[in-house]
Amino acid sequence: MKQMKTVTRPARTTQVLDFIRCELCGTQTQTPSCWSDYEIFHQDEVTIQREEGKNYPEGSGQRIVVDLCSTCFQNKLLPWIVAQGGAPRTEDWDG
């Protein structure tokens, strides 16, 4: 038989994700992997980041992250990259 007792734990404050805002247009999402209003299994994720640091022996560094919605990625960032001479490529992936 399990005997239960009441235990008082001190209050704790933690930070949880409220939303992500696109840096260019201000669109908000609560789900990092889906910037659109499609069904739950639709994935529409944009990841733009730069990492710099040392990985030996303990590993540490800094990461610069830019939050963009998929619309700004497609309609603003990609055309700018092409205008600068870049050649974005499309790759298939399998979950």
Which of residues 82 and 11 earns the better pLDDT score? 82
pTM across the whole model: 0.69
CA distances from 49 to 5, 33, 46, 52 (A): 48, 15, 10, 10
- Residue 74 inside a domain? The answer is yes
pLDDT of residue 74: 93
- The total number of structural domains in the chain stands at 1
* Residue 5 maps to a domain: no
| Residue 28 counted as domain residue | yes
Examine residue 75 and state whether it is found in any structural domain, yes or no. yes
Domain of residue 25: give its range: 20-83
The DSSP element (H or E) to which 70 belongs, if any, is helix 70-72
Q: Is 94 domain-assigned?
A: no
